[in-house]
Amino acid sequence: MENIAALYLAHLNPITNAHEKIISQLAKDYHVYVFPVVFLKKGRETNTRTFPFPYELRKKMLLSLFDGHDNIEILPNYKFVSPFIKYLPPIISPYAWAVRSGILHEVLEDRFISYTGDKAERIALRFYNLHPIKAKRLEISSTNVRELLYREALENLRKEEHSNTKNSFDHSNHNNQANYHKDTNIQDTLKEESWHNMVPKTVARIITENWNIVEKFAQSLDKTIKIFGMKFPTEGILN
């Protein structure tokens, strides 16, 4: 049987249960090459609220799931180097086509398909002759997970701030009772909608070990811009 490669180009920020399921299913029929997107400025990776986890951490997440799987490789070749404006407009820009060449550089198979659950991305992959297959949109997206991560981080920080204030000032019983019920309601919501249920256990552990990243971006503005359907960090767009 002829070997065929499957290219999985995605943000993977972070890896969700849906990502694990997709990669595992692809690996049953294809040699899978996973390409987490990377944005570089002067040799340094640029991360934002939309892209909080750096490539090496996302690779660690993937290896925690697929290390030792001969049919799955994780590569950093899906790479954009500032100024990012040079990759626009897509399809027309020669730099955008250079990204395609970089992706295929280490693909050993002569035949390959690519995977995406996004209709617009599938059209773009077709223009780049990356042979996308029809697929359903992710059940759980990284966006869902990030929103819950940031909500939990901000709530924890708020509680810490409240605790510190409480130690310094004597609040009335009425305020304490109101805050108690508020905290309880938020905790009930978090339990019902926990990000822990949306990512593999090994990935959850890695996220927890790097919680400082979550706290950092939870408190920051999202310095990401979407142009021609493509998302880029605003830092590095022009220089």
* Alpha-carbon separation of residue 182 from 5, 25, 162 (angstroms): 51, 43, 12
pLDDT in tens, 54-65: 999 999 999 999
Instruction: Quickly state the pLDDT bin for 178 (edges 50, 70, 90).
Output: very low
Instruction: Check if the beta carbon of residue 5 is closer than 8 Å to that of residue 30.
Output: yes
Instruction: Check if the beta carbon of residue 223 is closer than 8 Å to that of residue 48.
Output: yes
Please say if the pLDDT value at position 41 is more than 80.
yes
Question: End-to-end CA distance of the chain, in Å?
Answer: 48
Please say if the pLDDT value at position 231 is more than 60.
yes
Residue 213 has which token pair?
A: 């990243």
pLDDT of 186 reads 46
Please say if the pLDDT value at position 162 is more than 90.
no
CA dist 175 and 113 (Å) reads 59
SS3 state of residue 31? strand
Please say if the pLDDT value at position 135 is more than 70.
yes
What domains, with CATH codes, occur in the chain?
5-133 (3.40.50.620)
Mean confidence (pLDDT) of the chain: 88
pLDDT in tens, 92-106: 999 999 999 999 999
Instruction: Quickly state the pLDDT bin for 228 (edges 50, 70, 90).
Output: confident
- Per cent of the chain over pLDDT 90 is 76
Please say if the pLDDT value at position 134 is more than 90.
no
Helices then strands, counting H and E runs in the chain, come out as 8, 10
pLDDT of 116 reads 87
- How does strand 132-133 pair with strand 112-115? parallel
Q: Which of 27-31, 108-112, 118-122 has the lowest mean pLDDT?
A: 118-122
- How does strand 5-10 pair with strand 112-115? parallel
Q: Of 53, 55, 42, 49, whose CA–CA distance to 81 is shortest?
A: 42
Q: What is the reported pTM?
A: 0.86
Instruction: Check if the beta carbon of residue 200 is closer than 8 Å to that of residue 3.
Output: no
pLDDT of 177 reads 45
Q: Of 115, 95, 151, 92, whose CA–CA distance to 8 is shortest?
A: 115
Report the alpha-carbon angle 17-26-107, nearest 5. Answer: 120
Instruction: Quickly state the pLDDT bin for 160 (edges 50, 70, 90).
Output: confident
